Amino acid sequence: MTANRGGSRTVSKPGTDDTQTASTDDVPLGSPRVSDPVIKSSNLDVYYGDTQALHEINMEIPERQVTALIGPSGCGKSTFLRSINRMNDLIDVARVDGDLYFHGKNVYDDDVDPVALRRKIGMVFQKPNPFPKSIFDNVAYGLRVQGKDDGDVEEKVKTALERAALWDEVKGQLDESGLDLSGGQQQRLCIARAIAPDPEVILMDEPASALDPVATSKIEDLVEELSREYTVAIVTHNMQQAARISDKTAVFLTGGHLVEFDDTEKIFENPESDRVEDYITGKFG
Ligand SMILES: Nc1ncnc2c1ncn2[C@@H]1O[C@H](COP(=O)(O)OP(=O)(O)O)[C@@H](O)[C@H]1O
Ligand SMILES: [Mg+2]
């Protein structure tokens, strides 16, 4: 399935695919039918020690679209994102129950190497975090850990910087420190670093929330552009941003529940749940 965007966001029509594979149990209200989910969570629970941060999350993230995760602070958006590429493994007290599939393979199976998984499912964080290295080395880093330092590194670095819409701004200064770039450029550098190893999925956790409006708008354009080639899941606390750039929207609410998941247009224009309506119209959160 490929989103046909033609420059602006198009929302695929729900109900055009009758080969729905998800079980209808525990599906959040208004779940869109997704013909080829790249990511699928099934009854996913996440705990930090004794505290449950996510409850029975059932969700499918479609290929080459932008899926936005919205909801008030503390409702588990980052936790869900980290469960997709097993970044929660790095948190001692975190524990995951239930299933998370990447192309039908449970990423929590014993034979899955989390490092290899994270090359397929890259991540970009809220605060740009370039390494204290040159621009070139920041992007090449992902390739080198992959053992692909085989001569075409320069070409791959260039391609990644082009895809991250940064090449034109930095092509004359690849040896300069990534830390000397502006905040918005640093974030695009981190995006270039994430896409250099040629992932399929890019997870973004509030990638623009530390940036000024101009840099934010560049990131938004880039996210839409990236979804032509990659599957993108983006957490944002900015509802207008979700409405602008995403195809699908998942609304998490307090306590770690996925309350509604549907085409973005439907969520913002005619949500099923009163709580979602209250949230998106600003009555709380
Ligand atoms: N490393 C952690 N250790 C313990 N609790 C955590 C940790 N990270 C998040 N939590 C808790 O899990 C819940 C969900 O947090 P989070 O996923 O960060 O929410 P969001 O991204 O929606 O703001 C919150 O109650 C938060 O305090
Ligand atoms: Mg968060």
Angle at 132 between CA 230 and CA 193, to 5 degrees: 10
Q: Is residue 97 assigned to a domain?
A: yes
Structural domain that includes position 227: 37-130+200-280
**Would 174 be classed as within a structural domain?**
no
With CA atoms as reference, report the closest residue to 76 among 64, 89, 94, 98: 94
* Ion ligand 2 — residues with CB < 5 Å: 78
Gap between the Cα atoms of 191 and 128, Å rounded: 9
Whether 237 is in a domain gets the answer yes
Residue 25 domain-assigned (yes or no):
no
Q: Which residues contact 273 (CB under 8 A, 6 or more apart)?
A: 29, 30, 251, 259, 260
CA-to-CA distance for 87 and 79, rounded, in angstroms? 9
Residue pLDDT, tens place only, 144-181: 766 655 668 999 999 999 999 999 999 999 999 999 99
187-198 mean pLDDT:
95
For residue 149, the model assigns a pLDDT of 55
77 lines ligand 1 (CB under 6 A): yes
| Residue at 157 is within a domain | no
What's the pLDDT score for residue 152?
87
CATH code where residue 57 lies? 3.40.50.300
| 115 C-beta closer than 6 A to ligand 1 | no
CA angle 76, 81, 136 (to 5 degrees): 135
Which ligand 1 atom sits closest to the C-alpha of 49?
A: 4
Q: Is residue 7 part of a domain?
A: no
Q: Is 131 in the pocket of ligand 1 (CB under 6 A)?
A: no
- Dump strand ranges (E) for the chain: 37-48, 51-62, 66-70, 94-102, 105-106, 121-124, 201-205, 231-235, 248-253, 257-263
Task: Look at residue 244 and tell me if it is in a domain.
Answer: yes
Q: Residue 93: its pLDDT value, please?
A: 97
Regarding the beta carbon of 255 and ligand 1, being less than 6 Å apart is answered no
100 CA distance to ligand 2 centroid (A)? 19
More confident residue, 145 or 225: 225
For residue 69, report the distance from its CA to the centre of ligand 2, in Å: 10
Ligand 1 atom closest to 75 (CA) = 22
Pull the structure tokens for residue 274: 């009163």
Per-residue pLDDT of 27-63, as tens digits, reads 666 666 555 799 999 999 999 999 999 999 999 999 9
Q: Measured in angstroms, how far is the CA atom of residue 76 from the centroid of ligand 2?
A: 7
| Residue 219 forms part of a structural domain | yes
The finding on whether 75 has its CB within 6 A of some atom of ligand 1 is: yes
Q: Ligand 1 centroid to 11 CA: how many Å?
A: 31
pLDDT of residue 27: 62
- Please tell me the total count of domains within the chain: 1
**Cα(78) to centroid(ligand 1), Å:** 7
Please state the rounded mean pLDDT for residues 236-243.
94
